[in-house]
Amino acid sequence: MRNDLCRFVFVGIVAFDLASCTTMDRLDRVGEPPQLSPMGGSPRSSQRQIALPMAPQEPTVYQSNSLWAAGSRSFFKDQRASKVGDILTVLIDISDKAELSNQTARSRTGTEKADVTSLLGLEQAAGQLLPGGYDPTKAIALGSDSSTQGAGSVNRKEKVALTVAAVVSQVLPNGNLVIQGHQEVRVNFEIRDLTVTGIVRPEDISATNEVKHTQMAEARISYGGRGQLTDVQQPRYGQQVVDILFPF
């Protein structure tokens, strides 16, 4: 009994050590929505809040008797976003559907049997050493039978259609643009919150200065809300703590 108790305590300590880090992280985020992973970083790190990026303004110098301005890239300016501070429109049209079904069945049976009816006359002497009688024809008999059955299914369907304006916050050395957009709409005591960040190629931006979410790398899209209605739909903090700590 004492050995069983010690074994139970040891297993509990090991399980607690393995789950302590995750448990503390979850306790720190009680009442908060899941955090999105930062672009190109660890999922546990947090994104920095930065000010609105602005490109350095260069003075425009016009030559006399000329329509050309010094420093211009082209005679007819391209209105598509290309530098820090420019704005473009992100079209979010998510329509995902996944159906998975798995079923596994496994069965195995094994039988082994051996007898010792003649062993230089020693088979009878073995009966004198073994209590309860001895039958040489049933010296060894082994058998095993095992079976496993498993089934799982996933049926998921998601559809989101949104449009948000984003700002170019960085131009990478290869010319790709890092964009980020944040939009909030408040109706009474509820706020609809939309956030999008990602990396786009300048050539993927259309002539109308729009880019699709499918053309964004490292895309992080968050659509949710906060307010009285969202607060009522969430479990109380105490219940969330109990769900994290209660092991059964």
Q: What is the pLDDT of residue 46?
A: 43
C-alpha atoms less than 13 angstroms from C-alpha of 248 in its C-beta half-sphere: 1
Same domain, 222 and 112: no
Tell me the residue range of the domain where 224 lies. 2-56+73-96+158-245
Mean pLDDT throughout 23-29? 69
Residue 63 domain-assigned (yes or no) = no
Residue 185 domain-assigned (yes or no) = yes
Query: DSSP code of 115?
Result: -
Same domain, 91 and 138: no
- Percent share of the chain, pLDDT over 70: 58
Mean pLDDT throughout 140-169? 87
**What digits encode the pLDDT tens for the residues 55-87?**
666 666 666 666 666 655 555 667 888 889 899
Same domain, 91 and 194: yes
Phi, psi of 241 (to 5 degrees): -65, -40
The domain tally of the chain equals 2
Same domain, 112 and 214: no
The answer to whether 154 touches 99, Cβ cutoff 8 Å, is yes
Pairwise pLDDT comparison (224 vs 129), residue with the higher score: 224
Pairwise pLDDT comparison (157 vs 118), residue with the higher score: 157
Same domain, 51 and 22: yes
Same domain, 51 and 172: yes
Q: How far apart are CA 220 and CA 206, in angstroms?
A: 21
Q: Which of 161, 221, 228 is nearest to 193 (CA)?
A: 221
The answer to whether 95 touches 159, Cβ cutoff 8 Å, is yes
Same domain, 78 and 167: yes
Phi, psi of 240 (to 5 degrees): -65, -40
The answer to whether 142 touches 111, Cβ cutoff 8 Å, is yes
| Three-state SS letters, 204-230 | HCCCCCEEEHHHCEEEEEEEEEEEHHH
Phi, psi of 24 (to 5 degrees): -65, -40
Q: Among the three residues 153, 169, 188, which one is the final residue of a domain in this structure?
A: 153
Q: How far apart are CA 138 and CA 191, in angstroms?
A: 79
Mean per-residue pLDDT over the chain, rounded:
76
Supply angle C-alpha 219, 34, 194, rounded to 5. 50
Q: Which amino acid appears at position 40 of this protein?
A: G
Same domain, 110 and 85: no
Q: Among the three residues 111, 132, 153, which one is the final residue of a domain in this structure?
A: 153
Q: Which of 77-81, 145-149, 165-169, 237-241 reaches the highest mean pLDDT?
A: 165-169
What are the structure tokens assigned to 95, written together? 């329509």
Same domain, 223 and 182: yes
What sign has the CA pseudo-torsion 56, 216, 205, 211?
negative
**What digits encode the pLDDT tens for the residues 156-202?**
888 889 999 999 999 999 999 999 999 888 888 888 889 999 999 99
The answer to whether 151 touches 112, Cβ cutoff 8 Å, is no
Residue 6 domain-assigned (yes or no) = yes
